[in-house]
Structure 1
Amino acid sequence: MRRFTLPVVGLLGVAALTLTACQGSTAEAAPADPDAPLTIATIPVGDDPTAENPIEVFAELLEEATGRTVEITDVPDYLSVVEAIRADHVDIGIMSGFPSALAVNTGEVDALVAFEGDGKPVSTCVVREDSPIQTVEDLEGATVAFADQASSSGYFMPVYMLHEAGLEQGTDYEAIFAGGHEGSFAALEQGQVDAACTAIMLTELGAPMFPFADGEWRAVGESPAMDIQGAVLGRPSLDAETRKVIQDGIAEVFSPANAERLGAYGAFAAAPQTVDPKASAFTSFAEIAAVAGVELEDLK
């Protein structure tokens, strides 16, 4: 396993990527090289120095499953992941539902594998136990912390939940972006916000992912479920053999036996997988993305 960092200045054509679908790549697949490494672009995943880094665990397991060396390229944001794939810098990237849907809609990256949703609510908003806020509607006039604009569970789904309750961002409540789930929890803990919206899964994991003990917090509201919770995206120029090697490797890596080691990727390990999902599988995200007012170029 090898690891690199691809700076933003090394990414080409970022401005060309928008929510509007574009013509697909015309790059032709080169013949397969069985000794070539598999390359992955990733944003930072996992901040706990005492735990295994999920992307490094994924890379290790993928090497074991495929017999190929895996190279990890670190990039700063989801948009850079998409651009690295589109520009043929890397083979694949792993993203949650909404960034995946926006990327696939450009027509310039392929969805190799989709991880299906489990039909359960995705997100909630957390308040301190002594907060007067009891319902989603009570968030009117509140300051609400979100993870970031690229987060399915920490932005898209809770914003849609608030929209369904009649509350619009910037009009009925003030939104701040904390740079991640941990940041939104810290803002709530320090009294900087009235609520922090996050994944229900994180509240169930407890420390160190969720810093509040029982009796210190309450959940307010539940968002709808997501049809697709994440996807492995690939460059359209992948040759058929490498594409299959990756897809077979993904099926082996993301199994329930590996869920605990995969950490933040653990939910994908328990999810049914769809190989070569159609672009139409991601259309249910369009309405929610429109409510949030986010396009692909916003995912920084």
Structure 2
Amino acid sequence: MSRWRRFFKLCLVGLAVVGLLQAGGCGGGGGSEQPARLTIGLVSYDDGASSLEKYQRFQTYLAEQLKAVVELEPVFNEIRAVEQIQAARWSLVFAPSGLAAIAIAEANYLPIFPMVGTPNQRSVLVVRRDRPYQTLGDLANQAIALGEPGSATGYYLPLYDLYGLTLKQIEFAPTSATALGWIAEDRVAAGAMSEDDFQQYRSGFEDGTFRILHTSRAIPPGAVLIGPTVDRNQQQYIEQAMEAAPSSMTADAGYSPTSSPPDLTQLIALVEKVRPLESRVKEQPAVLTLAPSEGSP
């Protein structure tokens, strides 16, 4: 029996050691431990490698400060970003406004810093200058281009503004430059994009090719958000490291460590109103009207 008692005691000691290690008894205080791995999500659109280079110094810095493995996970359109956000696969997200609204409302992400950008960004619907369209109603029964679902300026704002129309077809342009190309060649009558994108990409076409038919309401810039899988006790380490980062690094990463996160309440409400229309955008024709029982924007 003595051998069994000794064996039983050894088992208890072993279990106690394991328990101490799991509780942080060797170098930590349990819940106060810093995260061992972080995944940073971002949409890099068509600038690919050049946009990732801007985040690499930040990635290295954050890994050193947190003593953690920090991975960058870029995606190249909003559809993939929405999937990752809804599955809570990203610890941190550098999100434009539309994605930030979805992350807060649908996936319990928490905004911690604002993204640097136009304080009051707007969506525009662009047409060829030589076409007769003067009002949104003139686009009825025409084909138009929207951005990818998840984009505030390319998708949610124009859908809200186009409510009540029946369109011949909606096509989805992966970039604003693509939408402008489709407008120029008469593939679509109009295209939606941010006002900033329009000013940037119009120079790639003959001067005077386009004009703005409609400008949306203003919305705040995007946000850096922290995911629901990150322990809130660990969040302070991440915020402190991001606040202390050199200004050149925060500028490259595109966030402001000295400002409060944007208030996206109104944009979230707008997105929720537009959501019921999403089942109709791929239909031909696309009837952007809801039954009374479904509500309306």
Tell me the TM-score normalised to structure 1 length. Answer: 0.66
Instruction: Tell me the distance in 2 between the aligned counterparts of 1:147 and 1:60.
Output: 30
- Conserved 8 A contact 1:158-1:197: yes
Q: Which deviates further from its counterpart, 141-150 or 244-253?
A: 244-253
- Partner-residue secondary structure (3-state), 1:287: helix
Structure 1 unmatched runs, 5+: 1-28
Quick one: higher RCO (CA 8 Å, sep 6+), 1 or 2? Answer: 1
* Equivalent in the alignment of 1:47: 46
Instruction: Tell me the distance in 2 between the aligned counterparts of 1:72 and 1:232.
Output: 14
- Partner-residue secondary structure (3-state), 1:205: helix
Aligned length: 244
- One-letter identity of the residue aligned with 1:67: E
- Conserved 8 A contact 2:98-2:151: yes
- Conserved 8 A contact 2:45-2:175: no
- One-letter identity of the residue aligned with 2:259: Q
- Partner-residue secondary structure (3-state), 1:175: strand
Identical residues among aligned pairs (%): 23
- Partner-residue secondary structure (3-state), 1:105: helix
* Equivalent in the alignment of 2:81: 78
* Equivalent in the alignment of 2:185: 190
Structure 2 unmatched runs, 5+: 1-29, 282-297
Instruction: Tell me the distance in 2 between the aligned counterparts of 1:173 and 1:120.
Output: 31
- Partner-residue secondary structure (3-state), 2:46: coil
Using the TM superposition, give the Cα deviation of residue 242 of structure 1 relative to its aligned residue in structure 2, in angstroms: 4.4
Using the TM superposition, give the Cα deviation of residue 145 of structure 1 relative to its aligned residue in structure 2, in angstroms: 0.3
- Partner-residue secondary structure (3-state), 1:215: coil
RMSD over aligned Cα atoms: 3.6
Using the TM superposition, give the Cα deviation of residue 198 of structure 1 relative to its aligned residue in structure 2, in angstroms: 0.6
Using the TM superposition, give the Cα deviation of residue 105 of structure 1 relative to its aligned residue in structure 2, in angstroms: 1.8
Are residues 284 and 83 of structure 1, via their aligned partners in 2, closer, same or farther at CA, if it must alter by over 3 Å? closer
* Equivalent in the alignment of 2:9: none
2:194 pairs, out of 188, 193, 199, with 199
- Residue 56 (structure 1) aligned with residue 53 (structure 2): yes
Tell me the TM-score normalised to structure 2 length. Answer: 0.66
- Partner-residue secondary structure (3-state), 2:126: strand
Using the TM superposition, give the Cα deviation of residue 59 of structure 1 relative to its aligned residue in structure 2, in angstroms: 3.6
Instruction: Tell me the distance in 2 between the aligned counterparts of 1:214 and 1:292.
Output: 37
- Conserved 8 A contact 2:91-2:226: yes
More helix by share: 2
